[in-house]
Structure 1
C-alpha cells in the first residue's frame, strides 16, 4: 500500500504533462474543416457499427486500430467512441481484441485509458477492456486507497465484501494473483493496513479470499442441526461461539449447508438467523456484513439485484458499483440478476437504467449487455459530437452533453438523420471546393 500511495502522489504532475501535451494544438481552420467533413459521415453511423455476426478478431482488431489512429491524429483518446465500438462484443471477444491490438499494433489500450482523468466514462471503458476478476481487484484496491487517503469518509466494509462475495475458490486465487501483480502488495496486507489488523471484517474478507470453501453439492442435515443449536444456545446465555468459528462457518461451509443451517434455525427456534447474528456481534457494520452474507447465500441473484438498485438510488448515482455489477457479471450470472431484479422491483432492469442513467453512452452499453444485444431506440440516443479535439468536457473523457442548454450552446440537435448530415457535408463542399 505504501508503494501505491507513493505512486498516487505522482499522478497529479504526470497527468498535467499529459493533458498539456494533449491540449496542445496547431491546427489551421482549413485542416479542421477537412477533418470535420471526413468525420461527419462516420459519426452518423456511430449507433450501429454493424459488427459481423461472425467474430473475426483480425478484421475487427484492424478496425479498432483505425479508431486508435484517429485518436492519435486528434491528440485525444475518444472514450465514447471506443466504448461504442466495444459494446457489440462479448467479454471474451473484447479481451481478444485488446490483446491483439497490443500484439499487432502496439497500442496498450488499458494503459491509455488509465491515463485519462477519473470519470464514469473512463470507469465504464476500462471495465470493458479487462477481465471481471481484474475489474474486481482494481475496484477493491481503489476503495482501500481512497479510504487510506481520506478521499471517502464512509465505512467501505460492505462494499469490499460485495466485490468478493461472488468469487468461487478458483476466482479467489485469480483475484489475489491479479491484485499482487497490479499493486505489488498482497491484498491481505492492504486489507489489514486500511481496515485494521485483527479486525473482524478484515478476518472475514481475508477468509473469503483464501478460497477454501467446500464446493461439493449437498449438505449434512445432522451437522446443520448441530450448528443451528450452537447458534441458538450462544444467544441464550450459553457458551458463546467465538468470532473465528463464526467466520469459519460462513466462509468454509457449502452454500447448501449454510442454507440448511439457516432454515433449521428458523424452523426449530422460530427466529431468523439474523437474530443470532445480532446477538453475536455488537458493531452495526459487522452485523450488516454477516446479514448480507446470509442474503447472498440464500439468493446471489437477488442480492446483486439489490446492490444495483441501491447504487441507482444514490445521489449522485454510484456508477462504479452499477458498472462493476453489470459488466463484471456479464459472462457469469447476469441473467439471474436481471430475473431477480424484475421480480423484486416489478420492472426490467433495462427500464430502470433508461430512467436513472444520465450518461447516454454508459446507458446504451449497459442496456445492450443486460438485454443481450437489444439497442436503445434511435430517439433515445444522445447527440452525435462532431470534433472531439475541441471537447470542453471537464473530465476530458469525451462525455456527451445531455442538457438542453448544452445542446443549444453547441448549435447541434440530437438524432440528426443521415439526410441532414449529407446536406451539412455538401455545405462545406460548396464553401471549400476540391
Structure 2
C-alpha cells in the first residue's frame, strides 16, 4: 500500500524566532499583512506552529492567538485560528460547534469520529474535557438519540482494532453475520452491524465487504440503503465509505461542501486543515478523478479574498 501524501510537511531549517518576527511585523502598526501571515502558517506543520506561538509569547510578551483575533475577521480568521489550534483541540472545537444551539450537525460528528484513530480520539476527549469541562461522550449522548447515539457512543470509545493483518476466515464469518442480520431476515438487527462496523480494523472491513458482495449479490452500501434509513443509514455509509478509501471519502465531503447554492465554509476549512498533514495530496487526486476538475479550481470558484489564498496554500 502506498504511503499517504500530505500537502503540508514540516519546514526544513525551521526558525521559530524568524517566523515569530514575521508575524509580529505583519500585525504591527496600521493595517495587517495578511499575505505574510498566510506564507508562514501554510508552510509550517502544526507542531511548528505551536512552537511559533510559544516563542511569540516569550519574545514579545504577547499572545499570538489574541493578536490574530484582533487583526483578522470572518472565514479567514476562522481558518487561521483553526491552523493555530493543536489538532485535538481543533477537532474538539468543531465537535462542540456541531452540538451547539438548536439542532445537531450529525454530519460533522460522523466525519470527525469515523476518521480518527484510537490515539486521536483519546486526545480529542482529553482536549474536550479540558476546554469545555464536560465529557464528550455525555454531550454526544445528550444531543443524539436511538441507533445514531449508539453508533457515536461506540466510535468515541476509540477501541477499534488497529491490526494490519487480515483474517480471511473471520471476514467470511462477519460478512455472513451481516447478511443474516439484514437481507436474510424480517427486520434488521442493527446491533450486529454496529458490532462489526465499529470494532473491526479498516483493512479487515474491506475484506468483509468483498465477502459480503459475494454472499449477498450486492454491495454492502446497497444493503445499508435498503435496510436502514435516516441518521443510522448515513452513519453506516460514512463508516463504509471511509473504510473503502479515505481519499475518495473526503473528496466527496469537499464536493458536498461546495455543491449547490452557498458554500459550507466550516466543512471546507475543517477538511483541508485536518487532512493537510495526512493525505490531502491523495484527496486532490481522488477529487480530480471523480469530478474531473482540480480541487484548487473548485475551491477558487467558491471562496474569495485572503480566505481563498489560505485554503489554496494548504492545497498546493
Query: Which TM bucket (shorter chain)?
Result: 0.7 to 0.9
1:179 paired to 2:116: no
- 1:141 matched to which residue of 2? 96
Q: CA deviation at 1:239?
A: 8.1
Change in 2 beyond 3 A, CA 1:302/1:265: same
Question: What are the equivalent positions in structure 2 for 1:352-371 lying under 5 Å apart?
Answer: 352-357=298-303, 359-371=304-316
Measured in 1, the distance between the counterparts of 2:171 and 2:94 equals: 35
Q: Secondary structure at the match of 1:214?
A: coil
Residue of structure 1 in register with 2:20 after alignment: 61
Matched, 1:87 2:42: yes
Quick check: 2:89–2:127 contact (8 Å CA) kept in 1?
yes
* Aligned residue runs from structure 1 range 208-223, under 5 A: 208-223=155-170
- Structure of larger gyration radius: 1
The residue number in structure 1 matching 2:60 is: 105
| 1:267 maps to 2:205 | no
User: Secondary structure of 2:166's match?
Assistant: coil
SS in 2 for 1:127: helix
Asked if 2 retains the 8 angstrom alpha-carbon contact of 1:84 and 1:361, the reply is: no
- Tell me the secondary structure at the aligned position of residue 134 of structure 1: helix
**1:158/1:285 contact within 8 Å kept:** no
Judging changes above 3 Å, is the alpha-carbon distance between structure 1 residues 200 and 77 closer, same or farther for their aligned structure 2 residues? farther
Structure 1 residue 116 displacement after superposition: 8.2
User: Which runs of 5 or more structure 2 residues have no equivalent in the other structure?
Assistant: 1-10
2:177 is matched with: 230
Q: CA deviation at 1:181?
A: 0.9
Deviation at 1:93, TM superposition (A): 2.3
Shift, 1:114, TM fit: 5.5
Query: How many angstroms apart in 1 are the aligned matches of 2:160 and 2:93?
Result: 24
Matched, 1:123 2:78: yes
CA distance in 2, matches of 1:94, 1:207: 33
Matches within 5 A, 1:40-55: 54-55=13-14
Q: Deviations over 1:255-279 (max 9, x none)?
A: 1111111111112321111243245
- Asked if 1:310 is matched to 2:256, the reply is yes
1:247 maps to 194
Number of equivalences? 306
Q: Given the alignment of the two structures, is residue 205 of structure 1 paired with residue 164 of structure 2, yes or no?
A: no
TM-score (norm 1): 0.65
What is aligned with 1:342? 288
Alpha-carbon separation, structure 2, partners of 1:161 and 1:80: 34
Give the distance between the partners of 1:104 and 1:205, measured in 2 at CA: 43
Deviation at 1:236, TM superposition (A): 4.5
Partner residue, 2:105: 156
Contact 2:34 2:306 in 1 (8 A): no
Give the 3-state SS of the residue equivalent to 1:328 in structure 2. helix
For 1:89 and 1:256, how far apart are their aligned partners in 2? 31
- For CA contacts below 8 A with separation 6 or more, give which structure has more relative contact order: 2
Task: Extract unaligned runs of 5+ from structure 1.
Answer: 1-51, 372-434
| Pair 1:293–1:347, CA change in 2 (3 A) | same
Q: Deviations over 1:159-210 (max 9, x none)?
A: 21012222111111111111111111010111112224xx321221222121
Secondary structure in structure 1 of the residue aligned to 2:192: helix
Measure, in 2, the Cα distance between the counterparts of 1:250 and 1:296.
11
* Distance in 1 separating the partners of 2:71 and 2:233: 38
Q: What are the superposed Cα offsets for residues 30-57 of structure 1, whole Å, 9 maximum, x if unpaired?
A: xxxxxxxxxxxxxxxxxxxxxx973211
Secondary structure at the aligned position of 1:356 is classed as: coil
Aligned to 1:191: 140
- Aligned-pair CA distance for 1:113: 4.7
